[in-house]
Amino acid sequence: MNLEAFPADPGLPQLKIASDPEVMREMFRGHLSPLPGRVYHIQDCLLSWVRYLRDVRCTLQYTLRLLEPGTGRERNQWVSGVIYAEDRAERMWRKLRAAHPGQEVPQAFLTFEPVSFIPDLNMLVQVFPYDRRIPALPLLMTRPSPDLEHQLLDWFGPGNWHADVWNIEPIRYRAGARAVLRYEAEMRDAATGRREKRRFYVKVYRGEEGERTYQVLQALWRRPEAGGEGFTIGKPIAYLPNLHALLQEESPGTSLGEVLLQDREIPLAARRIAQALATFNQDDVPTTRRHSREDEISDLKWVGNMLQWACPQLSAEVDRIIGAVVAGLEEVPPGPTHRDLTIDHILLNGDRVDLLDLDYFAEADPVLDPATLLAHLCSMPLRFPIPRDRVRMAARAFAEEYFAHVPKAWRRRLPLHYAGAALKEAVGFFRRQDPQWCEKIAVMVGEARDSLAGRLW
């Protein structure tokens, strides 16, 4: 349980209660209405994600642990609450309730009424998989839609294929933004009796960004070197615009995070990833997406505002760091850039390196990628039981190898971009509401300061 005080916002005074998991557990017990024939006891409540726009609104995502008294079975349930500075939540709740939400929610996922309202907090509450901004999500939770199933049967290749079993598991969810579902299909060829099991992922988006990501994936997959040396991606299968859903083959392998936690050939893995990323950042991938110097400055200012609100005692230092980074940023020739390169978005499979989750891919300063990965690596001891020396060894091996394969001028930009990446990593501790998030933010602010002072890279 995170006992750190959530920062106050005079425009959203309800945050004091909404950010307290124990109080919210009682709130949900009193205001979530079980559906007919369903009885669940809310055992625990965890605040697991925060999306905040100062003086406007805050979306809080909770994970509830439910107990079914009749069977003793336990399950986790995602619930999101939105509070507004203006009096919008009740009007929105009445409008959604009149539209009979949740009619298509799969029986297996029905627990409480899909939409509720907590008057004391002026909070609109949605119960996963219902999400007013991702209306296709419930439709994709039981079995593929006819369009989706047709695409998948074509993907299986020649034969008279039929699905005997669909196993669908939600993997990741950000309320009002996107969700990732893992599909496992047990297929049978009616002509030969042959059976196969395949696994793939369906990412469901709020808007059209999934189509742009699909175009990027197609361009990367069509590269002459696809499947060979350098980097690979999971094969894109289809994009369904009516569902805002992207289908992609599963990429086999072990994540970089798992490799580090298991202490398996870390320097070799780090160097292999560095070589793949250097290839990726210097590749020729057609895209209309751009992330300019001005875009990066805007991102950094948002990060600075978040950190200064969350940890006011660090305001002056954060302001100095942001100012120094912004002053030092240059317009440079852009290259293909992942822009969200974490340890979970890199898979190692033998000599192959697979890149995952390219939603933020753009033409940008390529040094953003190694800086982001290095900051994510160096924050690992704050999130996992892993020795600091181990991640530093991986970071040094990665940096040494990466900058041996790219233009020399790139190396000079690393301290600046690492400082910015360290602050972005710091924001994540608050948004996830990690235990001791303010202390962890201070550590990453120190990383940014040391990078600018030339003490790291």
Q: What is the pLDDT of residue 30?
A: 95
**Inter-CA distances, 194 with 123, 163, 183, 441, Å:** 52, 12, 20, 54
**Dihedral sign of CA atoms 364, 369, 370, 374 in order:** positive
What does the alpha-carbon distance between residue 128 and residue 137 come to, in Å, rounded to a whole number?
9
Query: Is the full-model pTM beyond 0.75?
Result: yes
Residue whose structure tokens are 């890199």: 346
What does the alpha-carbon distance between residue 309 and residue 427 come to, in Å, rounded to a whole number?
11
> What are the tokens at 294?
């001005």
Q: Which phi and psi angles does 117 have, rounded to 5°? A: -140, 130
What residues does each domain of the chain span? Answer: 15-127, 138-249, 254-452
**Inter-CA distances, 447 with 37, 73, 274, Å:** 54, 44, 21
What does the alpha-carbon distance between residue 301 and residue 310 come to, in Å, rounded to a whole number?
14
Contact criterion met (CB below 8 Å) for 112 and 28? no
**Other beta carbons within 10 Å of 22:** 11
Contact criterion met (CB below 8 Å) for 448 and 441? no
pLDDT digit string, tens, across residues 395-406: 999 999 999 999
Contact criterion met (CB below 8 Å) for 236 and 214? yes
The CATH code that applies to domain 254-452 is: 3.90.1200.10
Domains 138-249 and 254-452 belong to one CATH topology: no
Longest dimension (CA), the chain: 71
The CATH code that applies to domain 138-249 is: 3.30.200
Q: What is the pLDDT of residue 1?
A: 47
Q: What is the pLDDT of residue 225?
A: 58
Profile the chain (457 residues) by mean pLDDT over runs of 10 residues.
75 94 96 87 96 91 94 94 92 89 70 93 95 92 78 76 84 96 87 85 94 94 67 92 94 91 88 96 91 97 96 97 97 96 94 94 98 97 94 96 97 98 98 95 98 93
Q: What is the pLDDT of residue 283?
A: 92
pLDDT digit string, tens, across residues 314-360: 999 999 999 999 999 999 999 999 999 999 999 998 888 999 999 99
Residue whose structure tokens are 């920062």: 7
Cα 52 → chain centroid: 16
Helix axes 368-378, 266-281, angle to 10 degrees: 150
The strand order across the sheet containing 346-349 reads 254-255, 346-349, 352-355
Closest CA to 106 of 136, 79, 139, 132: 139
